Amino acid sequence: MCSIMGYCGHGPDFDKFKQCFDQTISRGPDDSRIVDTGNGLLGFHRLAIMGLAPSGMQPFQRGSSYVVCNGEIYGFEKIREELSCRYTFVSDSDCEILLPLYKEYGTDMFAMLDAEFALILYDGEKEEYIAARDPIGIRPLYYGYDEKGVILFASEAKNLVGITDKIMPFPPGYYYRNGTFTCYCDIAKTEAVCPDDMETVCQKIHDLLTAGVKKRLVADAKVGFLLSGGLDSSLVCAIAAKESREPIRTFAIGMSEDAIDLKYAKQVAEYIGSEHTEVYMTPKEIIDTLEEVIQILGTYDITTIRASMGMYLVCKAIHEQTDIRVLLTGEISDELFGYKYTDFAPDPKAFQEESVKRIRELHMYDVLRADRCISVNSLEARVPFGDLDFVTYVMAVNPELKMNHYGKGKYLLRHAFQEDECLPEEILWREKAAFSDAVGHSMVDYLKEYAESVYTDQELETRAEKYTYAKPFTKESLLYREIFEKYYPGQAEMIAGFWMPNKEWEGCNVNDPSARVLSNYGESGK
């Protein structure tokens, strides 16, 4: 990961800008630079992943134009080769192609990129700023306006606290120019339902996911893998192990007393021959780390916070104990293929509508969790299930096929890799457990018990009343909200409320986001 920030107008306060920008120096501890464009400031904290030499340091400059980008551009070598007859390149950085690409294609360039990215570009000839974000929002970007009406962009909300009244997430799949946000790619929108039959669908899922993993193995820095023992991360690791000459390095975390997934992660690691590390967390660590994690995340969402506890601690261990710089993860599969609660979808249309909603909001929940937990530990996240070709295809698959008619969730994904025998049958067909539960049922129980000790029933009722947006409804949600407000006062609208099952569906009107409360959870947590 890297961190970027831009003050897009005249009269910036350099010291204030630097103070705010340095809030995210852990995203890019290798080098830092702030440049005066003559019409504002652009800042870059570098985590060197591609093109490790000093020549890969940003901002990149051509004439009076500059760009800063937090991202990975897949297949950039081909683009650079096509541009090299007209432009000279001085580094091996993928992001060096951006200014030449902009010179050739303008804002049409964004739809051409196969990338996870957020960027701020200053066009020196037109004296205007452009910002853009990838279609899923895997790389973070926020914006706000100062008291003079000047727009600012930054990798994280914490960069903008204190210099803008209202902080908002930059919409994924959009670019900003001349005060206007324009959608260049709505990846959740499907023009027509794909007519492929089930076997064809499964073969394409297999091939596209494999390609998505392969391209994310390319890095000049060392790569590792988060392995929960669930289907999604296990598939990513299995594909990577098959494609790698050396044994891959996998990491799993669990509670010291009831880590459900550690045994499954170990089983996968032994099967694929990875170099495996187990990390244990204690009840005291969970409570002691809670406030720090909420500050890192910039959210009050219950699910996101619960699931971040283990992820943050395992990434912290990886940062402190290894020289790995890149981590592949299993996020985004659920939104494409379904959760436990989408088993309750009344019909294919409702299933698809829910999937579209979740994909569009992902950048505020699971994607946010993965980015913050990984980046704060000076690591980079890569998300194969977020591959643009993969997401585009799966979203177009007939939702009738994606619904759970098979007595097993994510049937298409499981069936797609059945013949490969890349995973043990027990793992490939294992019931899903919610990540926040799977690292140990007791972890969630400890958090709930702690919240119960902080507030009385009367305090919950009284304190929750002061929040009109995303009103807390349990002691746990109130605790998280009050910690959030301490660090991000008045910024609750950055998040689209609480991630919860669709309460309009029969069986889903619950008061806890965990799949444990659903009637179909069954054997998932065992």
User: For the domain that residue 147 is a member of, what is the CATH number?
Assistant: 3.60.20.10
Residue 363 to residue 357: CA distance in whole angstroms: 11
pLDDT tens digits along 173-190: 999 999 999 999 999 999
Side-chain-side CA neighbours of residue 165 (13 Å): 5
Residues linked to residue 17 through DSSP beta bridges, in sequence order: none
Q: Is the pLDDT of residue 524 over 80?
A: no
- DSSP H or E run through 416: helix 411-416
Instruction: Tell me how many domains the chain contains.
Output: 2
List, in sequence order, every beta strand (DSSP E) within 86-137.
Answer: 115-123, 128-133
Domain co-membership, 223 together with 164:
no
Residue 70 to residue 53: CA distance in whole angstroms: 17
9 CB contacts (<8 Å, ≥6 apart)?
39, 40, 148, 150, 151
Domain co-membership, 235 together with 147:
no
Q: Taking Cα atoms as reference points, which of 376, 257, 243, 373 lies closest to residue 304?
A: 373
Residue 272 is assigned to a structural domain of this protein: yes
Domain co-membership, 157 together with 212:
no
Residue 510 to residue 179: CA distance in whole angstroms: 41
* Token pair 């205007």: residue: 128
Tokens of 426: 């027990």
Question: If you average pLDDT over residues 492-520, what whole number do you get?
Answer: 87
pLDDT tens digits along 193-234: 999 999 999 999 999 999 999 999 998 889 999 999 889 999
Question: If you average pLDDT over residues 343-358, what whole number do you get?
Answer: 95
Q: Taking Cα atoms as reference points, which of 76, 56, 68, 193 lies closest to residue 118?
A: 68
Domain boundary among 448, 464, 480: 448
> Can you give the pLDDT at residue 526?
47
Which of the four pLDDT bands, split at 50, 70 and 90, describes residue 437? low
Whether 97 and 80 have beta carbons less than 8 Å apart is answered as yes
Residue 131 to residue 179: CA distance in whole angstroms: 11
Domain boundary among 429, 448, 467: 448
Q: Taking Cα atoms as reference points, which of 301, 297, 244 lies closest to residue 275?
A: 244
Domain co-membership, 178 together with 242:
no
Domain co-membership, 179 together with 214:
no
Residue 504 to residue 352: CA distance in whole angstroms: 15
Cα–Cα distances (Å) from 284 to 255, 256, 305, 308, 475, in that order, read 11, 11, 16, 16, 19
Tokens of 314: 């395992």
> Can you give the pLDDT at residue 340?
85
> Can you give the pLDDT at residue 523?
52
Quickly count: other Cβ atoms within 10 Å of residue 245's Cβ: 4
> Can you give the pLDDT at residue 439?
55
Which of the four pLDDT bands, split at 50, 70 and 90, describes residue 525? very low
Residue 363 is assigned to a structural domain of this protein: yes
Residue 467 is assigned to a structural domain of this protein: no
Residue 166 to residue 146: CA distance in whole angstroms: 9
Domain co-membership, 89 together with 233:
no
> Can you give the pLDDT at residue 45?
97
Q: Is the pLDDT of residue 438 over 60?
A: no
Tokens of 286: 């969970």
Domain co-membership, 149 together with 242:
no
Whether 403 and 345 have beta carbons less than 8 Å apart is answered as yes
Residue 490 is assigned to a structural domain of this protein: no
Q: Kindly report whether the global pTM for this prediction surpasses the value 0.85.
A: yes
Q: Is the pLDDT of residue 521 over 90?
A: no
Whether 215 and 428 have beta carbons less than 8 Å apart is answered as no
Of the listed ranges 81-90, 476-485, 503-512, the least confidently predicted one is: 503-512
Q: Which domain holds residue 16?
A: 3-183
Of the listed ranges 3-17, 391-405, 496-510, the least confidently predicted one is: 496-510
Arithmetic mean of pLDDT over the chain: 93
Tokens of 320: 């402190």
Question: If you average pLDDT over residues 25-36, what whole number do you get?
Answer: 96
